Chains A and B, each alone.
Chain A
């Protein structure tokens, strides 16, 4: 028996999982002639601590355990899950998932085999060993820092979240992958008052790390960011309305890529023909300065994965190379459909969902321009500094993202601060209009979560400073 099989059995053995149970489940799952079947075991422990009005006085915990059984026939999926790992419940779930096929039984795996996985999130201080009492001072420290930074601050809230997930994917080819996935996340919101005016804003950080994630430097920077972003709003006004040049700051403006092109490059939409990028493979869709990757290998990043949720190794995938669309993001179903290797993008929220092609850490590589030169090039436009959320319509290609803070650009200089402005554009059009790419790439360590088909997965972003020649800014003209 291989190490990883032993590791998976060792972990899930405490819930009654045995090699015999795996074989019984595969017998049921393959009983109707499936091409392929998979068992996804998951056990996840999450904690959340909250500070409000100066006290760390609320804690939330959750334990989830279960098995998802997936049966594939061509492009068709049968799926069932159980939260009870008894033999009868597991076999029932496998038999239920098997209804998607209607042929004669095929055999399950003869032997289980494993490839070693990389370690992209070495957890030096595992969450299982860190008690509430060690986390609490971090929240209190952030609270104190915020009030120290400014006498205008009147309210502070802090949320601290950690989780440890064990996942074990075993498929009917006998491939078994066991992974241990940590997550550290902290968010902070502030409200400030000046005269009768109040403003509030927030900042957050996340990474696949253990307790070591919370360095003094990170904590101090988080407090600085949250306070500065809140106070910034007092001087900010709504942006002007209309189609304008927009300069996106390095870092979290990677949300542009996530919405404008990322979702449309997920292969399931293309397999179905319903993405605006469905017939664009190997075509030039952007300037030669634009190279976009989706990368699951970044050490400790929120969207990184050693292995995806169907047992394919997490990897770095070049989506757009010097302006040319190179590949979609694939799961096993779409990879088989297109006759290519899966790209390790098959991800799911939990055992309660079948995997879908999903992004990991999506970013644009640096280009040739000096960021100052990019700002100087704009006569009248908007500089977007921080973002909260975005959305896209996959087929039409229309996407949006929300600017929380930024500036007007007038005669090549940053002038009036602006806030709370939505940007809307069309993905392919916006990529064509991305005409200057900075040399100042920055990876964003915020707690981004991506939603698709009712499933949330952790992701991250990155971007150099870029200029989009024209896009619709949702402001107010007075």
Chain B
């Protein structure tokens, strides 16, 4: 890759100087590069191979009390001159904003000295021929492990990316980082008796190639998920105890956490306004933001404001511990900023595994996927499409589809009855399987 982190840092410093030369009073500049490869293999043949090489420079400019943010990937010197000249000129036309400024440099202090180990040094050690072999072998394994399935098509994929970026603020902040990511996945489409063609999938995503989940596990899980949708029926409308599988939890959690952000609060579009320090969920819900997880998918030592990140509770025993307020909205709201981002999440786990939770529930519904839907962060109302399997006598029974799960964000997390011990390793939010009582489901 052309451009080690130090080269990018130099380019970011040069961009910041250029911004000032063109009249910006202050600037935040990020220079980034990435390259990667994607392979898609389908039914015995390579369907698509793609190579990606990206670069960009983005600049937030503070000009005479006014603010803009621009980015470009045309990095020819003459093009960058025009880019900064145009961006500064555009900014001068805007109305002033007294809350736009760089953070006080003291707020940059305290950066943790942790090696996040985000870069796999063996990134280049695998050849394109080896990647081709891996996707082909995964397809063969999916077919081998699921001989009973009425398979129409199997596709598998590998995606590998290496990226670098450097950030410079004109009042002293600088930081550079480098990371890799690897994805191995497979999907299997099966033919149902009624003509439907449901698909089961599974994938693994990691910072280091060696940490990826096994092909064996992907092959079995994708097949099992396809099999579990065969012969889907409908569910009677009613209130149910719901076991929400770990990989589906982020949809419901994201709707819950969204209104904690500064823009929602400042724009009076948050049902959580005035709830800091109050119980907004079941006492079983404790979630920390964990930015320093080694090899974590969401790990970072600093955020978009340049603030040092640290481990902190978001919800503790159901009580709201913090809002997510960045520098700008903090000034606008007249409160201290708390950092506008979350990174990896760490949950207080229960002591039951997935099967144990299902057994405990006895009668209810497993939801293993969401489909569409939306939520209203101002009023808390939400409605999501979903599907899964009936739980009967503590075991998974027939599959069901075409269900809607509806309610209010202020209530649903109070209905949390149990938390599993199975955080999803394929996601930075590390959600475990969760059990909710009295959930409104609509079916037939």
Contact = CB atoms under 8 A, between A and B. Distances in A.
Interface string B182-202: 000000010010011111000
Interface string B267-287: 111000000000000000000
Interface in A388-423: 388-402, 419-423
A124 interface: no
A154 to B, nearest CB: 6
A80 interface: yes
A233 B269 CA distance: 14
A352 interface: yes
A464 interface: no
A96 B378 CA distance: 49
A424 B407 CA distance: 16
B97 A55 contact: yes
A284 interface: no
Contact of B371 (A53, A136, A193, A398): A398
Interface size for chain A: under 10, 10 to 19, 20 to 34, or 35 or more residues?
A: 35 or more
Interface string A233-258: 10000100111000000000000000
B440 A241 contact: yes
Most A Cβ at <10 Å: residue of B68, B90, B385: B385
Contact of B374 (A55, A99, A422): A422
Interface in A94-122: 96-97, 99-100
B372 A401 contact: yes
B94 A421 contact: no
Given A274-B152, A391-B372, A77 B94 contact: no
Interface string A130-173: 01110010000000000000000011010000000000000000
B189 A395 contact: yes
A275 B152 CA distance: 10
Interface size for chain B: under 10, 10 to 19, 20 to 34, or 35 or more residues?
A: 35 or more
Contacts of B378: 191, 198-200
Interface of B: 42-43, 45-55, 66-74, 79, 83, 86-87, 90-91, 93-97, 100, 128, 152-153, 155, 189, 192, 195-199, 229, 232, 234, 237-238, 267-269, 332, 371-376, 378-379, 381-385, 387, 401-407, 440-444
Given A136-B94, A424-B371, A476-B407, 14 more contacts: A57-B97, A64-B72, A75-B45, A75-B47, A77-B48, A77-B50, A272-B153, A272-B155, A274-B153, A394-B197, A399-B371, A472-B402, A474-B405, A474-B406
Interface of A: 15, 47, 52-53, 55-66, 75-84, 93, 96-97, 99-100, 131-133, 136, 154-155, 157, 189, 191, 193, 198-200, 233, 238, 241-243, 259, 272-276, 278-279, 352, 354, 388-402, 419-426, 428, 472-477
28 contacts: A57-B67, A60-B69, A61-B71, A61-B86, A63-B73, A64-B72, A83-B53, A99-B49, A132-B90, A133-B93, A155-B268, A189-B269, A199-B379, A200-B267, A272-B43, A274-B197, A388-B374, A396-B199, A398-B371, A402-B373, A402-B374, A420-B374, A420-B375, A420-B379, A420-B381, A474-B404, A475-B406, A475-B442
